[in-house]
A = this chain, B = another copy of it.
Amino acid sequence: MTTPPPARVGDPTDAIDTPALVIDLDAFERNLDRMAAFSHDTGIRVRPHAKTHKSPAVARQQMQRGAVGQCCQKVGEAEVLVHGGINNVLVSNQIVGANKVARLAALARRAWIGVCADDPIQVKAYGEAARRAQVELHVLVEIDVGAARCGVMPGAPAVELAKYIADTPGLVFEGLQAYHGSAQHIRGHRERRAAIVTAAQAVQTTSEKLGAAGFDCRTIGGAGTGSFRFETETGLWNELQPGSYCFLDADYARNLDDSGVERTEFEHALFVASTVMSASAPGRAVVDAGHKASAIDSGLPTLWKRPDVSYAGAADEHGKLSLGAGAAKLGLGDRVWLVPGHVDPTVNLHDWYVGVRGGLENGVVECLWPVAARGAGT
């Protein structure tokens, strides 16, 4: 079910068939460099999230710049990463189901594997699978730091689960998973920081109680592209898990900086190339990329360098563009570059990254990378 790649290496960018998932390699590498410099300057470990890119090719470039490993959410993603050469993978999620847990343990024969827990039932299953596979699994206790989704409550419940992990042969207690997902997209800089300050209190309480009970947290992990500077400021977290920073998206670009301006320290590096395929009425154009090509769970895509045109509505295979007053005409065949509303689910719609060098308009296709873990949901 893999589709043919929409371009060939060496093609000019205007020959890329559409819709296509295109990386501006120059911007992408600058994003990777920025995060690597932050890690170097602060001494904090970075473990980028592969739920965003689903690609060992991207993961290797992050690790060549100093990332300690990768995160992912699914065993299927971990399999693609490990078999693609990544030797250190944390599944930052709970895994339930005998078959899935056995697959996870099998990976630990080939790589360092971590996983999260928020219930003794998961821990028991992890231990049985680890012993059967004759491996060690590193288990983090996930605590709920404000997202009200997964995780035990901070403090005593986390200590209790840590004890159970430490007492289970085949498992190693690794530390805490303390990720505040919903904080990433709080627009206001002060409010976003405040959410992480609150999360930090939960982390501090829990790690003190763990310490009193004789447990050392080798890892306190969490943070995302929207908040990683705040977690770092607290001095409590020692491992960051940002995903989107390598590509950025329209949603993250709406976060405000400390002066109240929409600004991030990363650049848009991922685009959906699209083509105008109908323009039958004035003020309107329709492109060949709808929400089967660019995910809309976090808002519609925006148009790259066309402030005179807005993406007004997405159907499955159609994107309706609205031309503002005085907008330059969009005719049949014209190329439009979309900035996805949300990169993670957009990447998951495509089989291929088309990597271009020298910019979107006049660049050249330098590489085709498979989105190797696309659809790896189990």
Contact = CB atoms under 8 A, between A and B. Distances in A.
Interface of A: 1-3, 6, 17-20, 51, 73-74, 76, 93-97, 99-100, 118-119, 121-122, 144, 148-153, 181, 275-281, 284, 286, 288-289, 291-293, 295-297, 314-318, 320, 332-333, 344-345, 348-351, 370-372, 374-378
Nearest to A296: B297
Nearest to A280: B118
15 contacts: A1-B370, A2-B375, A3-B375, A3-B376, A18-B97, A51-B316, A95-B277, A96-B277, A148-B281, A149-B320, A291-B297, A292-B344, A292-B345, A292-B377, A349-B349
A149 B276 CA distance: 12
A289 B97 CA distance: 14
B3 A76 contact: yes
Contact of A99 (B17, B278, B292, B318): B17
B332 A280 contact: no
A45 to B, nearest CB: 23
Residue of A96, A122, A372 ringed by the most chain B CB atoms within 10 A: A96
- Give the number of copies in the complex: 2
Nearest to A18: B378
B121 A332 contact: yes
Contact of A96 (B3, B51, B152, B275): B275
B345 A291 contact: yes
Contacts of A1: 1-2, 351, 370-372, 374-375
Contacts of A73: 316-317
Contacts of A95: 277
Contacts of A152: 280
Contact of A278 (B149, B286, B320): B149
A251 B205 CA distance: 45
Contact of A93 (B148, B149, B317): B317
Main secondary structure of the interface of A (DSSP, over half): loop
Contact of A122 (B118, B153, B332): B332
B370 A332 contact: no
A118 to B, nearest CB: 5
A152 B377 CA distance: 42
Contacts of A275: 96-97
B318 A149 contact: yes
A93 B333 CA distance: 15
Given A76-B3, A378-B3, A378-B6, A280 B151 contact: yes
Nearest to A278: B150
A370 B277 CA distance: 29
A17 B316 CA distance: 27
Contacts of A278: 94, 96, 118-119, 149-151
Contact of A333 (B17, B97, B149, B333): B97
A324 to B, nearest CB: 17
A154 to B, nearest CB: 12
Nearest to A151: B280
A116 to B, nearest CB: 9
A377 B287 CA distance: 12
